[in-house]
Amino acid sequence: MRTTMMSSSQPGRWFLVDARGQVLGRLASQIASVLRGKVRATFVPSMGGDYVVVVNAEKIRLTGRKAQQKMYYRHSGYPSGIRATPAGKLLKQHPETVLREAVRGMLPKNPLGRECLRKLRIYRGEGHRHAAQQPAALHLVSSQERDS
């Protein structure tokens, strides 16, 4: 028997995800596993996975009181230069950032994680620039479908 190993020369597949009505954390974990390559039969821990294009990022849901209580922090580098933004406000202004940070937290904290994150493309509305790659629709199970 020969073990087939995936090489970096094999191109990744492209998937299209519609984020309309999806819960942020559940969506991010499923996207992270596709970016990591864990959904492939030829998973290799030292390599990244497939490309993911996310549309309708502004229609992501936050459960509970996360819109008011969850904070995103950034620091200017100067003394007392810390800034905090509630998740609800950031979701209205920059929904791409909210989803990207959620996915980034679920990927490895090393060069492989950064390589995987570069394969994520996020757009606010329906349109995207990756029609030439012919992305296949990736059906993610929403919380309503999971409960029934």
Q: What is the CATH number of the domain that holds 25?
A: 3.90.1180.10
| 7 within a domain of the structure (yes/no) | no
Query: Among 132, 128, 124, 106, which Cα is nearest to 49's?
Result: 106
pLDDT value at residue 83: 97
pLDDT band, very low/low/confident/very high, at 2 (cuts 50, 70, 90): confident
Assessment of whether the complete model's pTM goes beyond 0.85: yes
Task: Summarize pLDDT for 57-73 with one digit per residue, the tens.
Answer: 999 999 999 999 999 99
| 82 within a domain of the structure (yes/no) | no
Domains of the chain: total: 1
SS3 state of residue 109: coil
Determine the average pLDDT of the residues in 24-36. Answer: 96
pLDDT value at residue 9: 67
| 3 within a domain of the structure (yes/no) | no
Higher pLDDT, 144 or 133: 133
| 72 within a domain of the structure (yes/no) | no
Tokens representing residue 75 in the block = 């620091």
| 25 within a domain of the structure (yes/no) | yes
Determine the structural domain holding residue 143 and report its residue range: 14-62+94-147
SS3 state of residue 82: strand
